[in-house]
Structure 1
């Protein structure tokens, strides 16, 4: 598949504002009144990624991810619209997010996504507020992921 640079239907990228004072800073990572209609996060988690390390690319069949990149660390983020029924099927996006460019990114199901910590020495932090529970209620279901990073000939390159 040949990917085209362009916007992806359903992806929301929101610039975050750090409110800084002598105590430190505060950032609203998401507000329910600013999320797409009907999107309701069901859990949250924090991940730290070592410098130079990539997470993904993978996609979800039913889950929407709401990532917040606020630092520490900076990330290169790549998205590919892999939904054949989407108006933007075949589009890809690449941008940078994190400490230097705080963003919240909404990634709908079927959009392949990955990110790489591009910081030289800083372990990078990412928050996620997915709209599905990992492995379902009571962790009794299969994981909702198609892991492209495990495929040797994957068309979703992070470099």
Structure 2
């Protein structure tokens, strides 16, 4: 497995070695030992989530605060997404910066997202099955987010805005500036 750190410290792209033959494909999504060796600390995933989305669905930008904060390992089982991670750690050199990564059932990449990052994704194929491994249990009292089209973050989703499908809850998320007050 190839592990690459992004410009956001601690945010990693995992690329498995893929074995393909006449039967199909096999790959390891992650190995705990290799991930922990790279990170330099232990990680214990306690919850797995799956979302199924149609083309144009934008979920995010979400994160959990305080004791509810979660590190996540995300991947796509079916389809393709534009995945966006925003560094919201006030002491980070990349505070307020973001990265975009294409995740798909073709490239088999995963992203490890450490605590202190906001996360969202846009489904760009007709059906997406998206998996999340989390190192903390979901607590609705600790959830927060940032508006997907925040002008200070300037995220280009590379998709017609008029075709986005966004939950009512995500449409009323605060701006980045409101969040960091």
TM-score range, shorter chain: 0.7 to 0.9
Residues 45 and 38 of structure 1: is their aligned pair in 2 closer, same or farther, counting only changes over 3 Å? same
Matches within 5 A, 1:37-52: 37-52=41-56
Shift of 1:77: 0.8
What residue in structure 1 maps to residue 17 of structure 2? Answer: 17
Shift of 1:78: 1.0
Structure 1, unmatched stretches of 5+, are: 1-5, 136-141
Q: Given the alignment of the two structures, is residue 105 of structure 1 paired with residue 111 of structure 2, yes or no?
A: yes
Q: Secondary structure at the match of 1:89?
A: coil
Q: Secondary structure at the match of 1:34?
A: helix
In structure 1, how many angstroms separate the alpha carbons of the residues matched to 2:72 and 2:91?
20
Moved more, 40-49 or 76-85: 40-49
In structure 1, how many angstroms separate the alpha carbons of the residues matched to 2:133 and 2:174?
30
Runs of 4+ in 1 over 4 A off after TM superposition: none
Structure 2, unmatched stretches of 5+, are: 1-5, 147-169
Size of the aligned set, in residue pairs, is 142
The counterpart of 1:68, out of the listed 75, 83, 86, is 75
In structure 2, how many angstroms separate the alpha carbons of the residues matched to 1:152 and 1:52?
19
What is the TM-score when the length of structure 1 is the normalising length? 0.78
Give the conservation status (yes or no) of the 8 Å contact 2:11–2:111: yes
Q: Given the alignment of the two structures, is residue 57 of structure 1 paired with residue 61 of structure 2, yes or no?
A: yes
Greater share of helix: 2
Q: Secondary structure at the match of 1:33?
A: helix
Shift of 1:144: 3.3
Give the conservation status (yes or no) of the 8 Å contact 2:57–2:123: yes
